[in-house]
Amino acid sequence: MWNMSLSALAMQAPDPDHEVVTQFEQVMLVALVFVIMFGLGAGLTPRDFISALRRPWGLIIGWVTQFAIMPFLAFLLVLGLILQLEPEFAAPLALGALLMGSVPAGTTSNIFTFFSKGNLGLSLMMTTNSTLWAVVMTPLALLVYGNRFMPADLDLQIPIDNIVVTLVILLVPVAAAMVVRRYSPNVGAVMELMGGFFGLFFIVFLVATWVPRNWILLVGTAWQVYAVAVGLGLFGITIAYWVARAIRLHPKNARTVGLETGIQNGPLAIAIVLLSFPDSPQLGLLLLVPALYSLFIVIVATAVTLYFRRANLGEEQKIPSLL
């Protein structure tokens, strides 16, 4: 999925040498996500999903934070920050930000949930759930908050194939891994370890490749845009986490809800922009918040994960893990 984000972002880059994401990189990224999801799935049993269904509170609250709080948060950030900018820049930037707040959770959220010792079963269910709902909820949220920024002739395109691809990448390897694990716990455990290992590599890879490619973009952007791109993820995670804690979800599930809510499907937002505004002269501005968000969410989520892990220390074992 990230191949799209990279190729889309490459359009912003001034140097034509850096524009194209190679076929190799695309294949590698998809393969990487596939391996990671396989690894995450190898740690799960059908029980984990049934448990999440039995206590649907996590799913319900996740739905609320995802489609009620996140778009509203994006709206507040737009009001408070983006509208300070010149109107000709503000409208496309605002639309990009609102879109970013209205898309469902991305696959990256599962990886961070895994590392922050959250509830992976719940995480996967939430991603699946919000991705399916996105077909209805993303346009609806945009309509509610984004009306004033939209061009009159806009034909908003929700890329169904993109949504299908997200679900396939999410569910196929997970299901396959669960079957493998059922028959060989050893192979499952190795895949899980490798998934975690590749997950770390993936996060580093994203940051390491994105920054050099897009440094010009970083230099020329107003601080308000940064604040929105960072704030959307950071406040999204924080608010959702505390909402979940407030209704007394288990801390493990609250961590999951927080990460699921704050971590959006950046590539999906980018795809929506590309499909809905194919010839817009403002394409670059429309893509700016989704692109910056996609970078900073990796950093924000890493910081939050480290915090969650530290907060989680009390529950962790004090004896050497292998004894």
Partner 1 sequence: MSELIWLEHYPPGTQPEIAEVPYRNLPDLLRQAAARYADTIAFTHCMPNGMNGSLRFGEVDRLADEFAIYLREVVGLEPGDRVAVQLPNCLSYPVVAFGILKAGCVLANTNPLYTASEMTHQFNDAGARALVIIDMFADRLPEVLPQTQIETVVTVRISEFLPSVIAGIIRATQRYWSRTVPPITVEHTPLQGALAAGRERRQGGSDVDAYLAGIDLDSLAVLQYTGGTTGVSKGAMLSHGNLVSNTLQMLAMCGSYIRPGEETVLTALPLYHVFAFTVNLVGFYYMGARNILIPSPRPPSNLKRALENYPVTWITGVNTLFNALLHERWFLEYPPHALRASAAGGMALHHSVAERWREVTDTPIVEGYGLTESSPVLTFNPLGGTVKDGTIGMPVPSTEVRCVDEAGSPLPPGQAGELVARGPQIMQGYWQQPEETEATLKDGWLHTGDIAEMDEMGYFRIVDRKKDMILVSGFNVYPNEVEERIVELPTVREAGVVAVPDPKTGESVRAYVVADDPAPSEAEILAHCREHLTAYKVPRGVWFVDELPKSPVGKILRKELRKDVAAGSPAAKDPDKRSTTGPSGV
Q: Which residues bind partner 1 (CB under 8 A)?
A: 43, 45, 47, 51, 54, 181, 185-186, 188-190, 192-193, 250, 314-323
Contact present, 176 and 38 (Cβ < 8 Å): yes
Q: Which is nearer to partner 1, 22 or 321 (CB)?
A: 321
* Residue 89 Cβ vs partner 1, minimum distance, rounded to whole Å: 48
Shorter beta-carbon distance to partner 1: residue 142 or 254 = 254
d(CA 113, CA 200): 12
Residue 314 Cβ vs partner 1, minimum distance, rounded to whole Å: 7
Rounded to the nearest 5 percent, the helix, strand and coil shares of the chain are 80, 0, 20
> Taking the C-alpha atoms of 38, 43, 49 and 51 in order, what is their torsion angle to the nearest 10 degrees?
-170
Nearby residues of 270 by Cβ (< 8 Å), 6 or more positions away: 4, 5, 8, 9, 287, 290, 291, 294
Of the pair 196, 284, the CB lying nearest partner 1 is at: 196
Minimum CB separation of residue 216 from partner 1 in Å reads: 39
Residue with tokens 């107003």: 222
Minimum distance, C-beta of residue 47 to partner 1, in the bound complex (Å): 5
Q: Least distance from C-beta 28 to partner 1, angstroms?
A: 24
Of the pair 51, 282, the CB lying nearest partner 1 is at 51
Find, among 81, 75, 53, 48, the residue nearest to 142 by Cα. Answer: 75
- Computed from CA positions of residues 309, 311, 317, 320, in that sequence, does the dihedral angle turn out positive or negative? positive
Name which of 47 and 143 has its Cβ closer to partner 1: 47
